[in-house]
Amino acid sequence: MSNRTFTMIKPDATSKGHTGAILDQMIKAGFSVKAMKWIQLSEAQAGAFYAVHKERPFYGELVEFMCSGPIVAAILEKENAVADFRTLIGATNFKDAAEGTIRKKYATSIGENAVHGSDSDENAKIEADFFFSGLERF
């Protein structure tokens, strides 16, 4: 997975019609799509995906938000994928994100921050495996 990362376009961005523009920015930045699905998570699924944040004060709000509408989940490939993708999306808090980054352009709060990007190769594999079987990726 070292040249792959995992992303989600979150419900705030899909509901505002930003999915196409966000995917276009990812592809133009050199990422190729190795798996993709458009789905709405159940509360249990969103809770399981973000279980690592279970003890954080924002966990309930995060889970409620992530199952409030459809998301696009994808595996992306590029050399140095995890680090380069985090540069492309910008800081978790869009107020700290660099100009031109996806979160700077589309996020509206620290929670409703338009996209998710894996923070390590190890988590990219865990997160990709959460969403995609072997048959669903290439």
Residues that bind ligand CMP (CB under 6 A): 53, 58, 61-62, 92, 110-111, 113, 116
Supply the minimum distance, in Å, between the C-beta of residue 14 and ligand CMP.
14
Cβ-based nearer residue to ligand CMP, 45 or 92 = 92
Cβ-based nearer residue to ligand CMP, 35 or 107 = 107
Catalytic residue among 4, 10, 103, 116: 116
Supply the minimum distance, in Å, between the C-beta of residue 110 and ligand CMP.
4
Catalytic residue check, 18 = no
Supply the minimum distance, in Å, between the C-beta of residue 28 and ligand CMP.
21
Sign of CA dihedral 118, 120, 125, 126: negative
Tell me the β-bridge partners of 71. Answer: 39
Tokens of 100: 């031109």
The strands making up 115-117's β-sheet, listed across from edge to edge, are 32-39, 71-77, 4-9, 115-117
Cβ-based nearer residue to ligand CMP, 36 or 135 = 36
CA distance linking residue 59 with residue 1, whole number of Å: 27
Q: Is 49 left (phi over 0), alpha (psi -120 to 50) or beta?
A: alpha
List the catalytic residues.
116
